[in-house]
Structure 1
Amino acid sequence: MTATVADAPAAAAGAGTAGRRPVPVARILRFELVKQFSAWRVRLLILLCWLGPGLLVFAIGQQSTLPSDTLFGRWMHATGWAGSLVVLGVAGTWALPLVTSVVAGDVFASEDRLGTWRHLLIAVRSHRRIFAAKAIASVTVILLLVAGLATSSVVGGLLTEGDQPLVGLDGHLLTGGDAAGKVLLAWVCVLAPTLALAAIGLLGSVALGRSPMGLLLPMLAALGMQTAQMLPLPVAVRLALPGYAFISWNGLFTDPQQLGPLLIGVGVSLVWAVVATALAYLLFLRRDFTNLTNDGTGRRVLALGVLPLAGVLAATAGVTAVATGAGGSGIDQDKVQRSVATAFAHLYPLQQAQMHQPPVTEAQLQTSATCTKSEGLGAQEGPGNDWRCTVYWNVPGYNVTAQAVYQLNVTPNGRYIADGDGPVQVNGYFLIVTQGRVVPNPLWQFDGNVDLLPSH
């Protein structure tokens, strides 16, 4: 017979325990935390998360080459805050999905492998309290690991390069204090998609029992969402995937900030977290713990697992499309031109200051840009590595208009890398000695971010 009443005593407990009260949640939670921290996998993750990022940032800081293909990687020799953002980008791709798999993906399945469900139910006498304690313990450990990643990367970066200004995604300078606040906020924002993956891990752990697929489910879900972000999806569908919140923190480092995609990504992730946790809870209450051969798998996995999450994806995509009016790729010629011109206007004064030239202002430059895709053939919108931009600006003191050419590789999520294509005196690859340090020319290559939502 299926156990459907959550707080009813387990059938095997007998009449002697039927009248006793269930064990308090706090006591079960302490027991679950002890089990979590006793596992060698969790101890290894704690060590890696609290030491690994700092050592990695320090090691990169000692190298002459930088991971310039990674967001903020080209600025790791300029400021300690860039190192934490590089770690954050890598963590969203690999570390955080791994953490949720190891912790949340195994919290229920371990009882199936060890065959301890009946003993636990007899001792606790409450399905609801067991679920709550295991879920809270998993989230607690995951938050500890995320805090380790953030703290270690920040400390490693500051010890290596110090609290210097950070160049944002549109080329504007952020002071050390401003950079600190935005870096901290970026780490806080990725908690939402991390909780969504943790909830998927809980669902897989309950639904798939002792099967190793339950342990791998958060990793597979994250990999699937990362693959989807590389496809030319409509904007509404892209933002409806919780994995987009691992990317949308980029908008914090533009001026003005691109908060629309970030808020949507965080909101969608929290919806997924709540729905997936509720589905895991319902499946757990319907488990037949009197049958030792039944680990929870079956048709309910499809009915209470896959189909509801697919419905959430469809519903959030529809709501996003209606609320924002977003359509297509969200990348068009006008947005690319504005973004490139803004970034160049911010970076040119920085370059002149580093080269000890007379100071210039953005108002003096009067920067503009003309961009074409596929040499002007076809639709002038969408991602691709065939964008070519010509930037025009007024040279102060000479009353002439200069120009520079950039090749752009625009990704489907709106991020792009602009690679200088002449003249060599402006955006060629050369080194600048400033404050006793050798730094690359900031106009040689720079990162940018196109807001996928319609401009108002």
Structure 2
Amino acid sequence: MTATVAETPTSPDAPEAARPVPVGRVLRFELVKQFSPWRIRLLIILCLIGPGILIFGIKQQATLPSDTLFGRWMHETAWAGSLVTLGAAGTWALPLITSLVAGDVFASEDRLGTWRHLLVAVRSPRRIFAAKAVASLTAILLLVTGLFVSSVVGGLLAVGDKPLIGVDGHSLAPGDAAVRVLMAWVCALAPTLALAAIGLLGSVAMGRSPMGLLLPMIAGFGMQVAQMLPLPVVVRLALPGYAFISWIGLFDEPQQLGPLLIGIAVSLVWAVVATALAYTLFVRRDFTNLTNDGTGRRALTLGVLPMAGVFLATIGVLAAATGASGSGIDQSKIQQSVATAFAHLYRLQEQELNRPPVTEAQLAASASCVKSEGLTAQEGPGNDWRCTVSWHVPGVSLTGQAVYQLDVNANGRFIADGDGPQEVNGYFLVHTSDGDVPNPLWQFDGNIDLLPTH
């Protein structure tokens, strides 16, 4: 027999003992419990000082994490360090935070056997759920804010407020860069909320089982692995994890907002559905069972299957609404992205060498790219793309050419590695009157919009 505690309607004249405890009092109690464990306090300390210390450490090194998006610019501007932190957080830190906070908020009561005491004191399962959910959200927002503030302050102290080079090679003024970095962190909250809701669902459904604690981490890592696989673009967009990547579009010009807005919307849908499922399971559970290790079949029917249904429905909606098919990566998109980034970065190189300024229109840069020497279909990800960039310098009759090897990831991001000529992109430093400075054309990043372009 299932036993639950229902809220009993009360009148203003009813005795105090019959009324459920106000949500505010329950929330204060849950916040105290949320921040009491040593692991949460340790997480707060790590989030507040960890990114700043890491950025300071990288500043003292001669080498940079050039294989990380914006990593090669960490010695040039504070905003690059914050974005590198955001990229790493989306892969590792945020799934871990949601697991330790939301994934344990209900399961801890099962391990301690305190449900009966809590229900007698509060007299409302609904208010208990609301208080625990809000307390978890508060803790997660505090930890994410700590990561952001630490990365920004550490970068400003170590490097300074300088222009940031966007993902397509154009220069962003410090103020513009700061706004876009803040927007990127705010956008990353959407998939974080989705993982937190999955944590709530796992914590309710799994009882004392450690799987509830691990579920957000497993889901987060699984989504990141899925983004590395050659999946169709609609499948990629239907996963909340894509919003941990699509903020890159904020640093393109024009901004690639389509994939980002889709990623945010999908993440919020997952967050709402998973939270509603967790609430349904919680108010229906048997609180008289002191050895609850999960709700078994109900966890499957009210947990896994509905989320799978949301995933499949999202794929269908996105396929119909966007018309996207395949990988979303084709030859024309790569050629345009490479040529645009090269033109922007060529101007930066000319500025470093104190040469007369040129415009993108004067350069008229174009790129010719082939995959696997033209022996396979000219589309899809891979490290076998090779591009030849051509451009014109005013007053020079010859056409300049440079070769790049491209490693195009399935999520649309690519790294272009210079392959000559040496004076253009063959060495990572260029000689100037003030000494050697990084060569912006040696390696550069790019981002391809996976949605159809018209």
Q: State the TM-score, normalizing by the size of structure 2.
A: 0.97
Q: 1:345 aligns with which of 335, 343, 359?
A: 343
Equivalent in the alignment of 1:12: none
* Compared CA separation, residues 437 and 215, structure 1 to 2 (3 A): farther
* Compared CA separation, residues 433 and 6, structure 1 to 2 (3 A): farther
Equivalent in the alignment of 1:241: 239
- For residues 243-282 of structure 1, what are the structure 2 equivalents within 5 Å? 243-282=241-280
Q: 1:222 aligns with which of 215, 220, 223?
A: 220
Equivalent in the alignment of 2:400: 402
Cα offsets for 1:251-284 (capped at 9, x unmatched): 0000000000000000000000000000000000
User: Structure 1: how far apart are the matches of 2:59 and 2:172?
Assistant: 20
Q: 2:391 aligns with which of 393, 401, 412?
A: 393
Give the superposition deviation at 1:18.
Answer: 10
Q: Give the secondary-structure state (helix, strand or coil) at the position aligned to 1:369.
A: strand
* Compared CA separation, residues 175 and 278, structure 1 to 2 (3 A): same
Q: Do structure 1's residue 452 and structure 2's residue 450 form an aligned pair?
A: yes
Equivalent in the alignment of 1:27: 25
Kept in 2, the 8 Å contact 1:150–1:187? The answer is yes
Structure 1: runs of 5+ lacking an equivalent: 10-15
Greater CA deviation, 131-140 or 294-303? Answer: 294-303
User: Structure 2: how far apart are the matches of 1:183 and 1:89?
Assistant: 12
User: Structure 2: how far apart are the matches of 1:233 and 1:437?
Assistant: 46
1:108 aligned partner, one-letter code:
F
User: Structure 1: how far apart are the matches of 2:253 and 2:402?
Assistant: 23
Q: Give the secondary-structure state (helix, strand or coil) at the position aligned to 1:417.
A: strand
Cα offsets for 1:331-370 (capped at 9, x unmatched): 0000000000000010001001001111111111011010
2:361 aligned partner, one-letter code:
A
User: Structure 2: how far apart are the matches of 1:394 and 1:254?
Assistant: 24
User: Structure 1: how far apart are the matches of 2:19 and 2:245?
Assistant: 47
Give the superposition deviation at 1:302.
Answer: 0.4
Cα offsets for 1:363-393 (capped at 9, x unmatched): 1101101000010112100000000000000
Give the superposition deviation at 1:6.
Answer: 4.0
1:3 aligned partner, one-letter code:
A
Cα offsets for 1:382-437 (capped at 9, x unmatched): 00000000000002211221110000000000000000011111001142366957
Q: 2:52 aligns with which of 54, 57, 63?
A: 54
Equivalent in the alignment of 1:159: 157
Q: Do structure 1's residue 134 and structure 2's residue 148 form an aligned pair?
A: no
Kept in 1, the 8 Å contact 2:82–2:151? The answer is yes
1:223 aligned partner, one-letter code:
F
Kept in 1, the 8 Å contact 2:47–2:146? The answer is yes
Give the superposition deviation at 1:296.
Answer: 3.6
Equivalent in the alignment of 2:3: 3
Q: Structure 1 stretches (4+) deviating beyond 4 angstroms?
A: 16-19, 433-438
Kept in 1, the 8 Å contact 2:383–2:406? The answer is yes
1:347 aligned partner, one-letter code:
L
Kept in 2, the 8 Å contact 1:3–1:285? The answer is no
Kept in 2, the 8 Å contact 1:73–1:86? The answer is yes
User: Structure 1: how far apart are the matches of 2:432 and 2:36?
Assistant: 51
Cα offsets for 1:32-85 (capped at 9, x unmatched): 000111110100000000110011111101111000000000000111110000
Structure 2: runs of 5+ lacking an equivalent: none
Q: Give the secondary-structure state (helix, strand or coil) at the position aligned to 1:422.
A: coil
User: Structure 2: how far apart are the matches of 1:8 and 1:392?
Assistant: 76
Equivalent in the alignment of 2:414: 416
Q: Give the secondary-structure state (helix, strand or coil) at the position aligned to 1:379.
A: coil
Cα offsets for 1:301-328 (capped at 9, x unmatched): 1000100000010011111111111000
User: Structure 1: how far apart are the matches of 2:36 and 2:360?
Assistant: 58
User: Structure 1: how far apart are the matches of 2:374 and 2:240?
Assistant: 35
Q: Give the secondary-structure state (helix, strand or coil) at the position aligned to 1:276.
A: helix
User: Structure 2: how far apart are the matches of 1:119 and 1:222?
Assistant: 34
2:447 aligned partner, one-letter code:
N
* Compared CA separation, residues 19 and 155, structure 1 to 2 (3 A): closer
1:279 aligned partner, one-letter code:
L
Q: Give the secondary-structure state (helix, strand or coil) at the position aligned to 1:402.
A: strand
Equivalent in the alignment of 2:299: 301
Greater CA deviation, 429-438 or 117-126? Answer: 429-438
User: Structure 1: how far apart are the matches of 2:104 and 2:165?
Assistant: 41
Greater CA deviation, 291-300 or 146-155? Answer: 291-300
Q: How many residue pairs are counted as aligned between the two chains?
A: 450
Give the superposition deviation at 1:297.
Answer: 2.4
Q: Do structure 1's residue 193 and structure 2's residue 191 form an aligned pair?
A: yes
* Compared CA separation, residues 423 and 434, structure 1 to 2 (3 A): closer
Give the superposition deviation at 1:438.
Answer: 4.4
Greater CA deviation, 426-435 or 133-142? Answer: 426-435
Give the superposition deviation at 1:17.
Answer: 9.0
1:220 aligned partner, one-letter code:
I
Cα offsets for 1:92-124 (capped at 9, x unmatched): 000000000000000000000000000000000
* Compared CA separation, residues 86 and 346, structure 1 to 2 (3 A): same
Q: Do structure 1's residue 324 and structure 2's residue 322 form an aligned pair?
A: yes
Greater CA deviation, 294-303 or 260-269? Answer: 294-303
Equivalent in the alignment of 1:381: 379
Q: 1:204 aligns with which of 199, 202, 205?
A: 202
Q: Give the secondary-structure state (helix, strand or coil) at the position aligned to 2:18.
A: coil
Cα offsets for 1:236-256 (capped at 9, x unmatched): 110000000000000000000
User: Structure 2: how far apart are the matches of 1:206 and 1:410?
Assistant: 41
Give the superposition deviation at 1:292.
Answer: 1.6
Kept in 1, the 8 Å contact 2:389–2:403? The answer is yes
User: Structure 1: how far apart are the matches of 2:433 and 2:21?
Assistant: 64
Equivalent in the alignment of 2:142: 144
* Compared CA separation, residues 6 and 401, structure 1 to 2 (3 A): farther
User: Structure 2: how far apart are the matches of 1:250 and 1:436?
Assistant: 33
Equivalent in the alignment of 1:65: 63
Identical pairs, percent = 77
* Compared CA separation, residues 400 and 302, structure 1 to 2 (3 A): same
